[in-house]
Amino acid sequence: MNRGFLIVGNKAVTKPFSLNDLAGSAGRMDILCRFVAQALFISHGIRKNVEVYLLLLGEPKPPKAIKIVGKEVKTMAPDERNIAGLIRKALKIECNKNWKRSTSGIYISKKNLKKLLDELTNRYKIVYLKETGKDIRNFVKQIDKDCLFILGDHLGLSEEQERIVKDYASEVISVSPISLQADQCVVIVHYELDRSTI
Amino acid sequence: MNRGFLIVGNKAVTKPFSLNDLAGSAGRMDILCRFVAQALFISHGIRKNVEVYLLLLGEPKPPKAIKIVGKEVKTMAPDERNIAGLIRKALKIECNKNWKRSTSGIYISKKNLKKLLDELTNRYKIVYLKETGKDIRNFVKQIDKDCLFILGDHLGLSEEQERIVKDYASEVISVSPISLQADQCVVIVHYELDRSTI
């Protein structure tokens, strides 16, 4: 089964940025890079059945959405700087509401959260990951459709973003008894799905 | 309970390195940085009950061991570049067989794998993480002592390293049906321990 992951980067900049300051002037782009790495990579390889979506809402031209398709990605390493370089390259493209290809497997558009979910809801069951949700360990036992998991960055989702997500999400799921970073949640989702399906 | 994590960095350099080439000339220092991040960080905080050990075996002066004590760490962010900067600072110190403090919570010495394990076996039950081991989900139910988990980097442990580790390890444990990166294994160990103890 396919798996999708979407993170909302509230401060992630929407223009090319310095690779030497991902956590600062790039608007916590480091969080998004780790999110991509943990969604796509296993030891010595990439998960072909994964799509990653990054919603960038920082200055100067929000929103921008980036789509990364595991089965198409050719040149990516799991370190933050490498992934950041590919995001930066995509941000150099003049984009509109349709997906434009940047490098192999990486696309960019001007879609906002609602437009993204309009598109994704046809292919995925939308799952909102939140500390207060139901235990993932019960949830994975009953999955019957490809799922897309939505997470916030270090700021979480705003009330408005959460309202939109809840319009589309059929489930609110929690991955841990303690509050974790977004990329750690991704690792746990993969782990629970791997255990229940492999 | 306390938790320890040790990674063997077979190529990780033992001198100060460029922060712009962690995955290349620094000998896959990016792997060690992610390992530290996943061992120590949760959302908006550091796990105080964790110690991380990095064994650096790259040129020019192997071995060097770095110890990071969660409850003492003051200025660390989870991005690779920040952690790499702290490791680089430690590598500037002229070190010997005893731990020398570099920055808050970070120490360096010339200990090799055997000397490290001699020291750690008094405080921890030593657990070797390997794909062929027993299922962690059964293991966490019966933990009665602080555990230190040992992992290899992208190259894994050599036969000689594995022989030494097995002399000390009371358990060989597997965290997933598929082969994962070291930092992903750390996330899963924390997750299973959190679920079983919180």
For residue A157, the domain's CATH number is: 3.40.1280.10
Burial class (CB in 10 A: 0-12, 13-18, 19+), A102: buried
Q: Which residues of A touch B177 (CB under 8 A)?
A: 194-195, 198
Helix (H) or strand (E) holding A189: helix A182-197
Question: What is chain B's mean pLDDT, rounded?
Answer: 97
Q: Which residues of B touch A135 (CB under 8 A)?
A: none
pLDDT of residue A177: 86
pLDDT tier, B151 (very low <50, low <70, confident <90, very high otherwise): very high
* R_g of chain B, CA atoms, integer Å: 16
Q: For tokens 């408005």, what's the residue?
A: A160
pLDDT of residue A126: 98
pLDDT of residue A9: 98
How far is Cα A67 from Cα A55, in angstroms, rounded to an integer?
9
Number of domains in chain A: 1
Q: Which residues of B touch A32 (CB under 8 A)?
A: none
Read off the pLDDT of residues B175-194 as tens digits, 9 standing for 90 and up: 998 999 999 999 999 999 99
Identify the domain containing residue B74 by its residue range: 3-196
Read off the pLDDT of residues A119-142 as tens digits, 9 standing for 90 and up: 999 999 999 999 999 999 999 999
> Hey, what are B33's tokens?
């940085």
ipTM, two decimals, is 0.97
Provide CB contacts within 8 A for A173, sequence distance 6+.
A127, A128, A129, A130, A133, A134, A135, A136, A139, A149
- Pairwise CB contact (< 8 Å): B42 & A184: yes
CA B142 to the chain's CA centroid: 23
- CA–CA min distance A191, chain B (Å): 7
Q: Is the pLDDT confidence value at A194 over 80?
A: yes
- CA–CA min distance B187, chain A (Å): 6
pLDDT of residue A179: 94
The model carries a pTM of 0.97
| Mean pLDDT of the region B32-61 | 97
**In chain B, what percentage of residues exceed pLDDT 90?**
96
- Pairwise CB contact (< 8 Å): B79 & A198: no
- CA–CA min distance B55, chain A (Å): 20
pLDDT tier, B197 (very low <50, low <70, confident <90, very high otherwise): confident
Per-residue three-class SS string for A70-108 = CCCCCCCCCCHHHHHHHHHHHCCCCCCCCCEEEECCEEE
Read off the pLDDT of residues B75-116 as tens digits, 9 standing for 90 and up: 999 999 999 999 999 999 999 999 999 999 999 999 999 999
Q: Which residues of B touch A78 (CB under 8 A)?
A: 30, 34, 181
Q: Is the pLDDT confidence value at A146 over 80?
A: yes
- CA–CA min distance B155, chain A (Å): 10
- Pairwise CB contact (< 8 Å): A81 & B79: no
Q: Which residues of A touch B136 (CB under 8 A)?
A: none
**In chain B, what percentage of residues exceed pLDDT 70?**
99
pLDDT tier, A44 (very low <50, low <70, confident <90, very high otherwise): confident
pLDDT tier, A101 (very low <50, low <70, confident <90, very high otherwise): very high
Q: Is the pLDDT confidence value at A15 over 80?
A: yes
| Residues on chain A bordering chain B, Cβ-to-Cβ distance under 8 angstroms | 19-20, 22-23, 30, 34, 37-38, 41-44, 77-82, 154, 175-181, 184, 187-188, 191, 194-195, 198
